[in-house]
């Protein structure tokens, strides 16, 4: 197998692009896909300050690495969920990356510890609330990432969602006809109201396997295990189904998700009218001031319930 670009020995084949690459040309391909995503979705400019949500996994660390190497001003935020046997390891990976690659690019790492700030680890909190762990985790992470981005004056928040994540999410949304989620399933969501950070997904053009290869080839030390709470999740099932289709017919995920984005671009109302809609429905939470559609935001409601259920 020879590299499509330079004809040296290839290290990875990409059936969906009908191509194979050597290491330098593959790195160039990955950087180019991210640069195209940033440009076509108008995610950010070189002068913008970016906050990357990192988990210690391959996607978020690869994203931080790529943005720094492309010359962007990117810091990172890690949320320590306090999951015994998992959070310690993932935090260690993030800190090591921040001390090496991050430091070399003058980038800093912020850490939010759920145990300290919310009073208990995510599993204990979910138990108190009688809620699935992932649902409590989603509320906390969304809230804390937005808050950190706004409070520390970042222009945009970036997450490591890749093509597989977005295609699986799209499949879930389509299977249940979740119109509202479909409307918001874009790789770039503007900061429509005061207090809401702009959110972007610069890896949406890259498959999970391509990012794993990038991480390994560039010696990014990441946590290989999935979060133990992810076991049995619908997302993993949708990913398996899509992988099966991809093996039979390379390019399926890309055609599915990118096709959706193309249709969405033609039919979705202009960003200005979406912002108007947000401005009409969102207002500051009476407790914390972050934007919400209710009087009290879901995070504050959740924390008040957890407090009320804590044994004294």
Ranges of H-type helices in 6-113: 23-40, 58-69, 87-97, 103-104
Q: Is 167:242 a contact under the CB 8 Å cutoff?
A: yes
> H/E element holding 46?
none
CA 62 to chain centre: 12
Which residues lie below 8 Å from residue 251, measured CB to CB, with a gap of 6+? 15, 16
Total residue count of the chain as it appears in this document: 312
Residue closer to ligand SF4, measured from CB, 230 or 237: 230
Q: Is 213 in the site for ligand SF4 (CB under 6 A)?
A: no
Q: Is 94:61 a contact under the CB 8 Å cutoff?
A: yes
Which residue from 178, 192, 218, 287 is in contact with Zn ion, where contact means CB under 5 A? 287
Q: Is 216 in the site for ligand SF4 (CB under 6 A)?
A: no
158 binds, among ligand SF4, Zn ion, none (CB under 5 to 8 A by kind): none
Which residue from 229, 245, 274, 296 is in contact with ligand SF4, where contact means CB under 6 A? 229
Smallest distance, Å, CB 290 to Zn ion?
5
Q: Is 227 in the site for ligand SF4 (CB under 6 A)?
A: yes
287 binds, among Zn ion, ligand SF4, none (CB under 5 to 8 A by kind): Zn ion
Q: Cα–Cα distances in Å, from 190 out to 41, 95, 277? A: 10, 30, 13
Size of the site for Zn ion (CB under 5 A): 5
Residue closer to Zn ion, measured from CB, 5 or 283: 283
φ, ψ for residue 74 (rounded to 5)?
A: -125, 120
> H/E element holding 110?
strand 109-113
d(CA 312, CA 138): 27
Q: Is 300 in the site for Zn ion (CB under 5 A)?
A: yes
Q: Is 137 in the site for ligand SF4 (CB under 6 A)?
A: yes
Residue closer to ligand SF4, measured from CB, 137 or 150: 137
Size of the site for ligand SF4 (CB under 6 A): 8
Binding site for Zn ion (CB under 5 A): 285, 287-288, 297, 300
Binding site for ligand SF4 (CB under 6 A): 122, 133-134, 137-138, 227, 229-230
């Amino acid at each position: 197998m020879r590299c499509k670009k330079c004809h040296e020995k290839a290290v990875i084949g990409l059936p969906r692009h009908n191509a194979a690459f050597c290491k330098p040309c593959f790195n160039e391909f990955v950087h180019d896909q991210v640069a195209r995503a940033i440009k076509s979705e108008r995610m950010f400019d070189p002068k913008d300050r970016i906050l990357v949500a990192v988990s210690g996994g391959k996607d978020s660390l690869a994203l931080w690495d790529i943005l720094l190497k492309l010359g962007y001003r990117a810091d990172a935020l890690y949320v320590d969920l306090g999951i015994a046997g998992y959070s310690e390891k993932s935090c260690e990976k993030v800190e090591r990356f921040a001390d090496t690659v991050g430091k070399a690019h003058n980038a800093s790492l912020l850490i939010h510890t759920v145990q300290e700030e919310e009073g208990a680890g995510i599993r204990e909190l979910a138990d108190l609330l009688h809620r699935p762990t992932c649902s409590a985790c989603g509320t906390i992470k969304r809230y804390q990432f937005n808050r950190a981005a706004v409070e520390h004056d970042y222009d945009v928040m970036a997450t490591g969602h890749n093509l597989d994540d977005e295609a699986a999410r799209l499949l879930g949304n389509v299977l249940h006809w979740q119109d509202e989620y479909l409307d918001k399933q874009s790789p770039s969501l503007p900061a429509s109201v005061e207090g809401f950070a702009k959110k972007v997904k610069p890896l949406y053009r890259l498959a999970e396997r391509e990012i794993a290869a990038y991480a390994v080839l560039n010696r990014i030390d990441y946590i290989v295990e999935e979060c133990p709470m992810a076991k049995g999740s619908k997302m993993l099932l949708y990913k398996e189904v899509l992988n099966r289709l991809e093996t039979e017919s390379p390019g399926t995920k890309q055609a599915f998700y990118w096709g959706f984005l193309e249709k969405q671009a033609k039919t979705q109302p202009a960003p200005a009218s979406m912002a108007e809609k947000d401005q009409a429905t969102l207002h500051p939470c009476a407790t914390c001031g972050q934007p919400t559609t209710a009087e009290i935001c879901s995070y504050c409601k959740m924390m008040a319930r957890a407090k009320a259920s804590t044994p004294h």
